[in-house]
């Protein structure tokens, strides 16, 4: 990475963590977008994003668990399918000309999720899905997460809400717990085949954790974040297009 990236990337990671943790996510898609914008090598992006996700999600998950906003049974059912597939996806080393457009597509999906937020206000009586359905859903998200270096929360949250599986606040707690475990298994599979992390990782971790401190504080106070998230969605879309067409 050039000299500008040494200063710019930690700032982008800080902002990404602050924005995502304020709404119950760990930020892997934004970390990937940040690294794509500064030109980080594809083989470094995936394990780095997963490590950042694990640390940030650990911090956030503790807060949700303490608040009683995690459906343990549903998390378990989802992870029964997700964990082995996240490991498998993480173990697959894709060439750069395949990985970059794939991650770009994931970032664009994440951008659409932020630019077109879909809230469900009529979800009064959520019901858990059948364990088999939850495990199958988890397996699909888990494989994609491991393959691309994301935690899967950006896909899981809308499924939880629009499927009527969990109310909004509970969905955030379930998603962050899922993200944590999914990222761990994805990284284990990824390290088995890649074993490459940047030397500046401690700096990136410090920046992301500082952002998580700010983001979780914002989340607790429930400050409005709609405009900020739309701006982040634009950044994700730009990075996604850059990966696909750059």
Length of the chain: 246
Total count of domains within the chain: 1
Question: What global pTM score does this model have?
Answer: 0.82
CA–CA gap between residue 135 and residue 78 (Å, rounded)? 5
User: Structure tokens of 175?
Assistant: 């998603």
* Res. 4: pLDDT tops 60: no
Q: Is the dihedral of CA 21, 219, 238, 116 positive or negative?
A: positive
170-203 tens-digit pLDDT: 888 898 899 999 899 988 887 776 677 888 999 9
C-beta separation of 142 from 81 below 8 A: yes
CA–CA gap between residue 83 and residue 20 (Å, rounded)? 23
C-beta separation of 28 from 150 below 8 A: yes
Chain centre to alpha carbon of residue 147: 13
Chain centre to alpha carbon of residue 90: 14
82-101 tens-digit pLDDT: 999 999 988 888 888 888 89
Phi, psi dihedrals of residue 149, rounded to the nearest 5°: 85, 30
Residue-number span of the structural domain to which 143 is assigned: 3-245
111-149 tens-digit pLDDT: 887 787 655 444 557 889 999 999 999 999 999 888 888
């Amino acid at each position: 990475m050039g000299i500008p990236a040494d200063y710019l990337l930690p700032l982008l990671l800080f902002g990404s963590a602050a924005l995502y943790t304020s709404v119950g996510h760990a930020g892997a898609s934004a970390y990937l977008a940040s690294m794509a914008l500064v030109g980080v090598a594809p083989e470094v992006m995936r394990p780095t994003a997963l490590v950042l996700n694990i640390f940030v999600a650990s911090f956030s998950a503790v807060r949700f668990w303490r608040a009683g906003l995690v459906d343990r049974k549903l998390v378990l059912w989802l992870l029964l399918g997700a964990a082995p597939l996240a490991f498998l996806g993480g173990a697959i080393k894709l060439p750069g000309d395949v990985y970059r457009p794939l991650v770009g597509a994931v970032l664009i999906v994440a951008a659409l999720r932020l630019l077109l937020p879909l809230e469900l206000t009529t979800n009064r009586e959520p019901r858990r899905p059948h364990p088999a359905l939850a495990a199958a859903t988890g397996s699909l998200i888990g494989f994609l997460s491991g393959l691309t270096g994301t935690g899967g929360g950006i896909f899981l949250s809308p499924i939880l809400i629009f499927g009527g599986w969990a109310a909004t606040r509970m969905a955030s707690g379930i998603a962050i717990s899922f993200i944590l475990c999914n990222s761990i298994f994805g990284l284990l599979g990824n390290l088995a085949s890649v074993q490459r992390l940047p030397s500046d990782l401690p700096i990136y971790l410090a920046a992301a954790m500082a952002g998580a401190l700010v983001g979780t504080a914002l989340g607790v106070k429930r400050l409005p974040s709609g405009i900020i998230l739309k701006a982040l969605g634009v950044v994700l879309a730009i990075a996604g297009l850059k990966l696909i067409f750059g």
